[in-house]
Amino acid sequence: MRIFFVLVLGLMLQANVFGQNTDYMKFDHRKIELGQITKGNIIDTVFTFTNSSSENIQIDIVDACECTTLDWTMDPIAPGEKGQIFVSFDSGKKEVVEEISVDITLLNTDPNTGGPVMDGVSYTYSFK
């Protein structure tokens, strides 16, 4: 029983540390499937989100692997307004199929941790 409790507690902590913070950004899609692509192609996609908080939010940093070029809404986004993260994936920089994580850090402070609000989305692909 004690082992079960420790496992459940560990899973809850992992979800809080590594999970999405849905209090600030509600994405239309958190995972985008790019489909089968030819190695060497550059594929563009967009993650669209709504500010689901009660305050303005502003993206500080968006980061992914070296195969991904990113751009995003730079201005503050009011509650209920939309923002976007633009992704350009260079498949020529990949040898294997994998899920690419896109990490998002806001300038806003998370009241639970005192640190920046962090969130994330991902995309997947396969080679023809």
User: Which residue range forms the structural domain that includes residue 77?
Assistant: 22-127
Q: How does pLDDT run across 38-51, given as a tens digit for each residue?
A: 999 999 999 999 99
**Is there a domain that residue 3 lies in?**
no
State the pTM of this model.
0.83
| CB count in 10 Å sphere of residue 59 | 23
> For position 103, which CATH number holds?
2.60.40.10
- Residue 41, in any domain of the structure: yes
Task: Report whether 42 contacts 91 (CB < 8 A).
Answer: yes
pLDDT range class, residue 68, cuts 50, 70, 90: very high
Place of tokens 């899973």: 11
CA distance 63 to 70: 7
In this predicted structure, what is the pLDDT of residue 9?
40
Does an H or E element contain 103, and which? strand 100-109
Q: What percent of the chain has pLDDT over 70?
A: 83
Residue 46 lies inside a defined structural domain of this protein:
yes
Q: Is the pLDDT assigned to residue 25 strictly greater than 70? A: yes
Q: How many domains are there within the chain?
A: 1
**Is residue 11 assigned to a domain?**
no
* Whether residue 13 has pLDDT greater than 80: no
- Alpha carbon separation from 68 to 4, 62, 85, 100, 102 (Å, rounded): 40, 11, 12, 9, 9
User: The tokens of 46 are what?
Assistant: 């967009």
For the segment 80-118, what is each residue's pLDDT rounded down to a tens digit?
Answer: 999 999 999 999 999 999 999 999 999 999 998 999 999
- Phi then psi for residue 99, to 5 deg, are -90, 130
**Confidence (pLDDT) at 21:** 67
What's residue 1's pLDDT? Answer: 55
**What is the average per-residue pLDDT within 65-79?**
98
- Which has more pLDDT, 64 or 8? 64
Per-residue DSSP letter, 77? B
